[in-house]
Amino acid sequence: MYAVMNILVTTFWSFKDALVQTYTLPYLKIMHKHLPKGSKIYLLTIEQPRFAIKPEEVAQIEQELAAFGIVSVRFPYFNYGLLSLLNWARIVLYLLFLVLVQNIQVIHSFCTTSGMAGYLLSLLTGRKYLIDSYEPHAEASVENGDWQRNSFRFKLLFAMEKYSSKHATYIISATEGMRYYAKEKYGVTFDKFYVKPACVNLQNFSWENRKNPDLLKKFGFEDKIVCVYAGKLGGIYLDKEVFELFKVAHNFWGDKLRILLLTAHTPQEIALKAKAVGLSADIFQVCFVNHKEIANYMGLADFGITPVKPIPTKRYCTPIKDGEYWALGLPIVITHNISDDSEIVEKHQIGAVLQEFNETDYLRCVQTIDQLLVANTTENLYKKVRAVAEQYRSYEIAEKIYKEIYGGSATVTTFKNQHFF
C-alpha cells in the first residue's frame, strides 16, 4: 500500500460555474479513484458575485465533496487591477502554507490562467506541476480584441505560459495541435503530453433526454424544427452573425423554426438583437437553467450551433457544448477551424461547417441540416451522432490519462521520492 498523495488543483473559475461543475469536478472524481486511500484533493476556486454560494449551501457542498476526498478552498474574485494583484498575492501565500502543512505533492492547474499561481507554488516548494486543459489564453485575448499585444496583461500571461510550459512535468491538452503551438510560440517540447478534449457524461446526456413531452408542450415546440444554442453571445463567440444565420434559417423553414437559447442574456436583449436583423422575438425561447437540467432542455432541439469566433488560437480549444450536443444525437453548425471539432463534423457528416459569414454560406449550412433531418429518422440520426460522442468525448479518455498519471505504482513512487522543504 502506498502513502497518501495529496493534490492541489487550481482553477480561475467559481465553484458554481459550469466550468467547475462539468469541466473540473468530474475529472477530480476520476482522479480520486486512482489515488491511494486517504488522499485528498484541495480545489481552489475564485468566487464571482454572480455565482455566490449561499451560507446554507456550504455544509452540503462540503459533504458532497468529502465523499470524493475533495476539500474546497474558495477566495473572492477581483477584476484586473491592484486589488486583483493583492488578492492573488494573498492566495499564493495561503496556498504556499497549505502545500507545506498538508504535504501536498502535486500541483494540478486547470488552464494557464490559474497555472500562473500553480507555477509559482511549484517553484517555491519543489512540488511536481501539471497543466490540464492546456491551451493559449494570452494570444486568444488579443485575437478577441480584449487585450492589446503591448499591454502588461498580455506580456505577463504570455511569459507565464512559456515558463510554466517549460516547468510542467505533465501536459494535458485539448488538442494534439497544441503540441506544435507550444513548440513554435514557447520553444517547448514535451516528454509527457496527453490529449483530452472536453469529455461528457454520456449517461446524463442521452436518448432519455430527447424531446421531453412536458417541455415540448410548455414551449409550443411540437412539430417544430428547434435550434438550440447554450452559451453567451459576444466575446469569444459570434453575435450579430448568429442572428443573421437565424434570419436565413427562418426564411428557409418559415414558422416551423423555433430557437431555444440557454443563456444568461435576457429576453429583452435577445429581442433587440433579433429586431436588428428583422426577426420577430416570438420564435425565440430564452432560458437560463441549472446545468443539472440542461440536458432535457438541450434535448428539445433538432440541431445545435457552436458559434465560436474562428480566430487562430481557437484551433486549440475544446468546446464543451459540442460533446453535449453529440451525446444527445444533435447535428451541429460550427464555425471553421474550431478545435478538432470542425474536422470531426465534416469527416462524419454530422452537421455543417460555416466557412464565411454571408447569406450564401448560411443557407448552405441550413440546407445541410435540413437534408440530415429529412433523410434520417430522429432515432437513426441520434445513433449516428451519438457514436461520434462515444468515440471523441467519452470519460474513458480522461480515465486512461488520469490512471496513467496518478494510478501507476511508478508514478506514485516518483511523487513520493521528491525532496520537499
Instruction: Please state the φ and ψ torsions of residue 111, each to the nearest 5 degrees.
Output: 75, 155
Question: Per DSSP, which regions of 181-281 are E strands?
Answer: 193-195, 225-230, 257-262
Instruction: Please state the φ and ψ torsions of residue 290, each to the nearest 5 degrees.
Output: -60, 145
Output the nine-digit C-alpha cell for 23. Answer: 469541466
3-state DSSP call for residue 43?
A: strand
The pLDDT value given to residue 18: 85
Q: Residues 366-392: pLDDT tens digits?
A: 999 999 999 999 999 999 999 999 999
Ordered strands of the 193-195 beta sheet = 70-76, 41-47, 6-10, 104-110, 128-134, 170-173, 193-195
The pLDDT value given to residue 82: 83
Output the nine-digit C-alpha cell for 266. Answer: 435576457
Instruction: Please state the φ and ψ torsions of residue 251, each to the nearest 5 degrees.
Output: -60, -35
Q: Which domains does the chain have, with CATH numbers?
A: 6-199+394-416 (3.40.50.2000), 207-392 (3.40.50.2000)
74-to-44, 56, 60, 95, 101 alpha-carbon distances in Å: 6, 16, 15, 11, 18
Q: Return d(Cα 36, Cα 40) in angstroms, integer.
A: 9
State the DSSP code for 209.
G
3-state DSSP call for residue 110?
A: strand
Output the nine-digit C-alpha cell for 343. Answer: 474536422
What pTM did the predictor assign? 0.89
Q: Return d(Cα 129, Cα 141) in angstroms, integer.
A: 25
360-to-184, 248, 355, 365, 411 alpha-carbon distances in Å: 36, 9, 10, 9, 54
Q: Return d(Cα 310, Cα 236) in angstroms, integer.
A: 9
Q: Which stretches of the chain drop beneath a pLDDT of 50?
A: 1, 409-421
The pLDDT value given to residue 2: 52
Output the nine-digit C-alpha cell for 184. Answer: 513554435
Q: Return d(Cα 209, Cα 282) in angstroms, integer.
A: 25
The pLDDT value given to residue 408: 65
Q: Residues 65-121: pLDDT tens digits?
A: 999 999 999 999 998 778 888 998 999 999 999 999 999 999 999 998 898 999 999
Output the nine-digit C-alpha cell for 195. Answer: 490529449
Residue 134 near residue 112, CB atoms below 8 Å = yes
Instruction: Please state the φ and ψ torsions of residue 340, each to the nearest 5 degrees.
Output: -95, -5
353-to-188, 278, 350 alpha-carbon distances in Å: 32, 24, 10
| Amino acid occupying residue 250 | H
Neighbours of 278 (CB within 10 A): 10
